[in-house]
A and B are shown apart, each in its own frame.
Chain A
Amino acid sequence: MKVSNSLWAAQLAGKMPDALAREIDVFETEIALRKQGKLDERLFAETRLRRGTYGQRYDNGQRYDGQKTQDIKYPSADLTKGPNTMWDAPGMQRIKIPAGGLNAEQLETMADLAEEYSDGIAHITTRQDFQLHYIHIDDTPSLMRRLAAAEITTREACGNSVRNVTACPYTGVCADEAFDVTPYARALARFLMGHPDTQNFGRKFKPAFSGCAQHACGLTSLHDLGLIAKKRVVDGKEQIGFEMWVGGGLGAVPYMAKLFDSFIPPEELLPLAQAIGRVFARLGEKKNRNRARIKFLIQDLGIETFRELVLEERKILPHDPRWTSFIEEELRAQEEPLRPGGEWPVATSEDFKRWLKTNTRPQKQSGYVTVTVGLPLGDITATQLRALADIVRKFTKETIRTTVEQNFAIRWVSHADLPALYEALKAAEIGMPGAGTIVDIVSCPGTDTCKLGISSSRGLSAELRKQLAEKSFELDEAVQNLHIKVSGCFNSCGQHHVADLGFYGVSRKVGGYAVPHFQVVLGGEWEHNAGSYGLPVAAIPSKNIPKVVTRLTEKYVANRVSGETFKEFVKRTGKAELKTLLDDLAKPPAGDRSYFSDWGDPREYTLDDIGVGECAGEVVSSVEFDLAAAERELFEAQLLFEKGETQKAGDRAYRSMLDAAKALVKIGYSTVPDNPDVIVSEFRLRYYDTQKFFDPFAGGKFAQYLFAEHDKARNNGKEPRTVDATRYLLDESQLFIDAAHACYNRLGTTVAV
């Protein structure tokens, strides 16, 4: 696409690390081979994914325009970059930033690339990466070379590989951490990238580091490999090491990580990670990608067996000097302040005072703070990135970090520099207060650019941000500190499970129309490295979500007891009462067509083409009633679970899936008996074998939840249910019901049964 593409390789020769330069040359050759038809599209897809080059919405060459699906006639009509993925379709480029660490030059590089290859915006993700959107694949080698010249790689930013190694952005300066985990995170990232033992995974693998257990910043609980810095005293001598956790993950069904070891010494960090990689590569699921994350392997094996296998593998690993040399090298690169620490400034304006309150964080080093640069929805312009580069040059030793809340953290800012730094940020229009508060909403890309998006997470987030910002300083302090996180679908890229108020996109059919909804997930815990996950309460039309936020926060302010957190309030109040509070918001008002489109997108919402029936606002089929009944059943199950009645909760969750399956089966077999064997058998025949139930991207994954539970009920129905397993089952049942709604939507017509 870019005329200069042919020139960058020569321009940057000798300026890129050899390994990265070679890697990009190889990718460029693969692009050429694919264009010549000499490389299979599936192979090419995986190879580009391993370079962080993703597909984007509408890349299958079709787009619904609000009335009909139109073909997009890309110039390279028959050329694909993966199955059903058109060559010329814009894509997304993910860029790895280990531990979120960047320097000023790298910020400038990112600015240039956003401007020249993307839409002028760089986006920070919930895993400290950058993403650039609307990139043409022909531009990616040049883009990668320019990154490589700034010592940044996109290698293994996607695909079945070790993804970005994230770390708490405050580590090294945080007052109550054990120690700075940055060198270890960077060493692990270097060691695992391209390592032969990490090249044969069935799915991705995400590591994360935290300097402490109590704060949220590392989110270790929701990672495949989580490492928390620890200190201990043995024989009077202090030792440092890591608490090692494995098998956490969000995705459709969130899993809390399991403790692998309460203390591993630093020299064991890399070899143990390597051994885990070997076990995962050898025993992890390969065929069914829906069960291929390491969390499923650990669940199937049990943590004890998994641990034994890893330790056996560790014993036979050939010694690698890099296990320690990488750490030693990284330990030599410690961040330091540019300027002497100073006195806390006198705030001369209300704006400055608010910004100081929300956007600065004390460091353990006296006289310094870390400043958070809040970015709306993680977006920043090229011009702002350059301004930020100037700022970090002026006030720090040219260092800055991305955060999992899609912001920047500038560390080592002298108190004395705060007024000048604030003015510089304001001049660049990135000096807004409110970082880490309720207005600082985290959102995945959703339907804006993601192929998996169901509802407009960014549209909703922008609207919530606008509404909340208008009244943010009037909000109760307890409300100001809540976290809102939004995902466009069940895959949890917006980390909705660990928010006070989480939302994920679902669709529902109302009177013959598909209506964008969000499932409301309440009571997740952001602190303690994402200490617990929330549970879904109700699916609410997208346009009513701002009212949901208002209503829930007002109730919290009115009814909370002293010092009660939102999570505690949710638990004490109970989901039944909270659901009742939202009941009248669960249906669009009759005749209001604005509910049939999503935030920021006036097209009539659809998951596929839908027919418009007469009296569309009022027609409700028995299928919809039956699906609603299944949801109620599940809700009852959740209440039982809250009360600690695990066995009953699990049984009811299974029943809710049966009810949803039965609702669909009744479309063609209205007298289907209420016999689980018959329901499952008929469901399999009519919806699974025909793939009618299949999600466009998750395939038959959700049906498997029903089949697995049905098999268990038949084979060992008397076995007691564990809390963990029931918790997973509740989530799986919700996803099954959501999939049943989606399946019904796809059937396309209102069905009178």
Chain B
Amino acid sequence: MAATAQQIRLQHVNVKLFVKNPAGVDLEPLIPIFHSWISGRAFNELLLDVADYRHVPSGPGIMVIGFEADYSVDNAGNRLGVRYNRKTPIDGDNAFALQQAARAALTACRALEQESRLGGKLQFGGDEIEIFINDRLLAPNRAETFQAARPDLEALAKKLFGAAGYSLTYDSNSDPRSLFSVKLKPSHGFSTAELLKNLE
């Protein structure tokens, strides 16, 4: 169970970026958009279905269920944002797995920002990125996991934010039952387009 610097394996990475002005955002228009992602095979992943959880307070909102990953515009913790949840394993090292998830989340954000049916109402801030590892056995929520994962997380932050400063925080007082998660915050704001470009 122990996650050490030598052995931690970062798989099933989740990345969440937050909506800039969440007040009054109506999630219903996302439903046809997500259906069109499926029918139009919008991403290089197999998307299967749309799940509507708007009735659940602080829930997953609207989701696109995929084979490799799920995308949601969720409201967990009462914070509206796009979350990418990688389900299938990624071939490659930790850095690759982290970058892949970040890229996928940012791509979804960009798609929604540019979606004509939303009229630009959904914009995402590049000033805070939350990363989760959705596997308690690989990454239990404790300080040792953070220490083990820190170099890979910092490498991702440097890739995303370039020369800008950033903070990488792990809340050691968080509920140990919850998923291991950290927050990345750059010293100044980035657009999602800039962040995507930086990942190239």
Residues of A within 8 A of B (CB): 1-4, 7-8, 11, 57-58, 63, 65-67, 70, 72-75, 88-90, 108, 111-112, 115-116, 119-121, 133-134, 136, 376-377, 379-381, 383-384, 386, 429-430, 432, 448-449, 458-459, 462, 465-466, 600-603
Contact = CB atoms under 8 A, between A and B. Distances in A.
A65 B34 CA distance: 11
5 contacts: A72-B46, A381-B60, A383-B58, A600-B31, A601-B35
- Describe A's contact surface by its main secondary structure: mixed
Contacts of A136: 87
B56 interface: yes
Contact of B55 (A65, A70, A133, A377): A377
Interface string B120-144: 0000000000000011111000000
A465 B135 contact: no
Nearest to A384: B58
A377 B52 CA distance: 12
A108 to B, nearest CB: 6
Contacts of B70: 119, 134
- Find the residue from B35, B52, B55, B88 having the highest chain A CB count within 10 A: B55
Given A8-B137, A65-B38, A603-B35, A115 B87 contact: no
Contacts of A602: 31-32, 35
Contacts of B55: 376-377, 379, 462, 465-466
B1 A11 contact: yes
A90 B65 contact: yes
Interface of B: 1, 9, 11-12, 31-32, 35, 38-39, 46, 48-60, 63, 65, 67, 70, 74, 76-77, 87-89, 134-138, 175, 177-179
Contacts of A65: 35, 38-39
A66 B35 contact: yes
A1 B59 contact: no
A458 B48 CA distance: 19
Contacts of A462: 52, 54-55
Nearest to A70: B39
A7 B11 CA distance: 14
- Find the residue from A11, A72, A108 having the highest chain B CB count within 10 A: A72
B138 A381 contact: no
A449 B52 CA distance: 11
Given A4-B137, A90-B49, A386-B177, 16 more contacts: A2-B135, A3-B89, A3-B135, A7-B137, A11-B137, A58-B49, A90-B67, A108-B177, A112-B136, A381-B60, A386-B178, A429-B57, A449-B49, A458-B52, A600-B52, A602-B31
Contacts of B67: 74-75, 88, 90
Contacts of B175: 386
Contacts of A465: 55
A392 to B, nearest CB: 14
Contacts of A67: 39
Contacts of B53: 119, 121, 379
A3 B11 contact: yes
B75 to A, nearest CB: 10
A601 B31 contact: yes
Given A3-B9, A65-B39, A119-B70, A90 B48 contact: yes
Contacts of B63: 119
Contacts of A386: 175, 177-178
B78 to A, nearest CB: 8
A23 B70 CA distance: 31
B115 to A, nearest CB: 14
B56 A381 contact: yes
A381 B135 contact: no
A379 B35 contact: no
A40 to B, nearest CB: 25
A457 B70 CA distance: 23
B60 A119 contact: yes
A366 to B, nearest CB: 34
A383 B39 contact: no
Contacts, number: 120
B94 to A, nearest CB: 12
Across the A-B interface, the 6 shortest Cβ-Cβ residue pairs: A65-B39, A429-B57, A4-B137, A602-B32, A376-B55, A3-B11
A381 B51 CA distance: 14
Contacts of A3: 9, 11-12, 89, 135, 138
A58 B48 CA distance: 8
B55 to A, nearest CB: 4
A3 B135 CA distance: 8
A469 to B, nearest CB: 10
A555 B126 CA distance: 54
Contacts of A2: 12, 89, 135
A383 B179 CA distance: 10
Contacts of B88: 1
Contacts of A73: 46
A429 B58 contact: yes
Contacts of B57: 376, 429-430, 432
A8 B135 CA distance: 11
Given A66-B35, A383-B76, A134 B65 contact: yes
Contacts of A57: 49
Contacts of A380: 56
Contacts of B136: 112, 116
Contacts of A58: 48-49
B179 to A, nearest CB: 7
B59 A379 contact: yes
Given A1-B89, A381-B59, A119 B76 contact: no
Contact of A111 (B51, B74, B137, B177): B177
Contacts of A74: 46, 67
A120 B74 CA distance: 11
A3 B90 CA distance: 9
A12 to B, nearest CB: 10
A116 B11 CA distance: 12
Contacts of A66: 35, 39
A63 B41 CA distance: 13
A422 to B, nearest CB: 15
Contacts of B31: 600-602
B178 A383 contact: yes
A115 B65 contact: no
Nearest to A117: B87
Contact of A115 (B1, B38, B58, B134): B134
Contacts of A7: 137
- Find the residue from A115, A119, A458, A462 having the highest chain B CB count within 10 A: A119
Contacts of B178: 383, 386
A4 B11 CA distance: 9
A111 B58 CA distance: 15
Nearest to A602: B32
A183 to B, nearest CB: 31
A185 B49 CA distance: 38
- Find the residue from A3, A8, A65, A111 having the highest chain B CB count within 10 A: A3
A115 to B, nearest CB: 7
A86 B104 CA distance: 26
A459 to B, nearest CB: 7
Nearest to A73: B46
Contact of A121 (B39, B56, B179): B56
Contacts of A1: 87-89
Contacts of B87: 1, 136
Given A65-B35, A90-B65, A121-B60, A448 B137 contact: no
Contacts of B58: 381, 383-384, 429
A429 B77 CA distance: 10
Contacts of B177: 108, 111-112, 386
A615 to B, nearest CB: 26
A432 B87 CA distance: 33
A2 B57 CA distance: 28
Nearest to B29: A602
